[in-house]
């Protein structure tokens, strides 16, 4: 992995890793937790008649996987899904999300949703959270406050945003909001900077700083929440637990 790409080979990933792949010609990325055994736990929008088929997180899950019969397992009305790695990637490339990067490396990454300055918890804790949420759900999907990247970031760190009205933990969401905000804030500088290069440089700097300010590794409005207390703290309904230990074997 490097500054330009986090692409990895399948042989390089380990259980507990945060992986992702790009959809719609790199328009957005879909994230999940690799739990071993060629299985991935990830968070998607629950399909309802009110959502169109082209919603970005409406992942087309196969009705029957030719390799793994439990691929596509989910609890009723839950967006947390267990998929095999092939079905998760959908012929896309495999990328690994980086944790504990330095501020300079974070700022050098032009695109959000690829790394964080926050450290990762041990793989055992990560897998426990992912499998627990597979049983109990992760609330309602929201593109800005509770998406697939928010799910994987929580599984990896246990950090939850206190301010429910602000942007979530997702680097992708921060980038979407940060880009137009940076352009808006830098627009008055056009009167002071005749050079387009100067304005572009300032805009790029504001964009990077807005991304950095919303990273969970530097935010002050995040707290550590045990996965067993997640539903109670946020008022999510808790489904009946079922035995799914055999799923990842």
Catalytic positions: 30, 42, 148
**What is the distance between the alpha carbons of residues 178 and 9, in angstroms, rounded to a whole number?**
31
C-alpha distances in Å from residue 157, one per residue of 50, 152, 153, 227, 249? 33, 9, 6, 11, 24
**What is the distance between the alpha carbons of residues 138 and 118, in angstroms, rounded to a whole number?**
21
Q: What ranges in 22-122 are assigned the alpha helix state H? A: 85-89, 103-108
| Distance between start and end Cα atoms, the chain | 29
The answer for residues whose C-beta is within 8 angstroms of residue 204's C-beta and 6 or more apart is 182
Closest CA to 173 of 209, 204, 149: 149
Tokens of 6: 């986090």
**What is the distance between the alpha carbons of residues 75 and 218, in angstroms, rounded to a whole number?**
34
**What is the distance between the alpha carbons of residues 76 and 202, in angstroms, rounded to a whole number?**
48
Q: In what order do the strands lie in the sheet with 39-43?
A: 80-84, 39-43, 28-36, 18-23, 95-96
C-alpha distances in Å from residue 59, one per residue of 29, 45, 92, 134? 11, 8, 13, 16
**What is the distance between the alpha carbons of residues 95 and 135, in angstroms, rounded to a whole number?**
26
């Amino acid at each position: 992995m490097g500054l330009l790409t986090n692409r990895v080979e399948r042989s390089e990933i380990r259980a507990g890793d945060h992986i992702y792949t790009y959809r719609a010609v790199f328009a957005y990325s879909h994230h999940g937790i690799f739990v071993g055994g060629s299985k991935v736990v990830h968070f998607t929008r629950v399909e309802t008649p009110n959502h169109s088929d082209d919603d970005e997180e409406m992942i087309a899950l196969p009705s029957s996987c030719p390799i793994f019969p439990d691929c596509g397992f989910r609890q009723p009305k839950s967006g947390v899904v267990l998929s095999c790695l092939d079905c998760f990637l959908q012929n896309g490339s495999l990328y690994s999300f980086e944790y504990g990067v330095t501020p300079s490396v974070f700022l050098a990454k032009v695109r959000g949703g690829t790394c964080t300055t926050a450290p990762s918890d041990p793989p055992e804790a990560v897998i426990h959270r992912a499998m627990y949420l597979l049983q109990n759900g992760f609330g309602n999907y929201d593109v800005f406050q509770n998406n697939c990247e928010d799910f994987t970031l929580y599984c990896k760190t246990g950090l939850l945003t206190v301010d429910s009205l602000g942007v979530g933990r997702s680097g992708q969401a921060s980038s979407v909001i940060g880009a137009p905000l940076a352009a808006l804030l830098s627009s008055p500088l056009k009167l002071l900077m005749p050079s387009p290069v100067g304005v572009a440089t300032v805009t790029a700097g504001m964009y990077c700083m807005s991304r950095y300010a919303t990273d969970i590794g530097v935010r002050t409005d995040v707290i550590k929440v045990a996965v067993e207390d997640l539903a109670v703290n946020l008022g999510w309904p808790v489904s009946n637990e079922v035995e799914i230990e055999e799923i990842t074997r």
